[in-house]
Amino acid sequence: GGAPPPPPTPAASENGSDVEEYTTFAGTAFYISPEMFHNKYTAKTDVWSVGVALYVLVAGYPAEVLQKAFNLLQKSKRDLKTLPGMPDNMPDTYYDMLGKCLTYNPKKRPSAGEVVKCDFPQFHKEHEAETTAKSKGKSSRRGMGRTASVLFSATATKHRTYMNYQKFERSVTTVLATIPTRGELDDLMKRIAAIEGGEKKAAEG
């Protein structure tokens, strides 16, 4: 195959912070963050892409109305509940998480670690602790006490009506928890380049 694409190019930070900024335009069009079009972005561009993926997971890929969905996503002010194909029975905690991922201003957008702490992905931990406690003959109250979740009891009760989303919640947590760091991406690109370089030498030999 051809040579792998170059890793994102760091740019000097305008505010003097330690947050790395990049200028290389990259990504799949529908999942690209607004700041990517300005050719200056940080790792939070990945959080935006995860937000778009979370939308597609519940609504399906809006192939027939792709431009409409894209335009709506790229607006600084919009009602996420009006996105094409969006189910009308998603819990408020899902929209809260989605809104944070799709925060237009990257400086106000939370990190992946902060998104994982949202009520929606945290809920399955709450439920899992309850289930484990019940299976051992212990009270669910003790089970909930051992979880790291800080959900209010009313929120947990409301979530129980959405247990069909348990598998989805697990996938959300998995996606957010496995976003590679910039260093890991750079290391991967170097490994790919080394492998292809070795194959080329072997072919020439």
Give 9's pLDDT tier (boundaries 50, 70, 90): low
**pTM summary value:** 0.58
Question: What number of other Cβ atoms are within 10 A of residue 92's Cβ?
Answer: 11
C-alpha 30/C-alpha 83 separation (Å) is 13
Measuring CA to CA, which residue among 84, 103, 159 is closest to residue 127?
159
Tens digits of residue pLDDT in 143-170? 333 333 334 444 444 445 444 455 566 6
Q: Tell how many helices (H) and how many strands (E) occur in the chain.
A: 9, 2
The residue extents of the domains of the chain are 43-179
Percent helix, percent strand, percent coil in the chain, to nearest 5: 60, 0, 35
Write the CB contacts of 69 (distance below 8 Å, at least 6 apart in sequence).
Answer: 30, 62, 83, 84
Tens digits of residue pLDDT in 182-197? 777 777 778 878 887 7
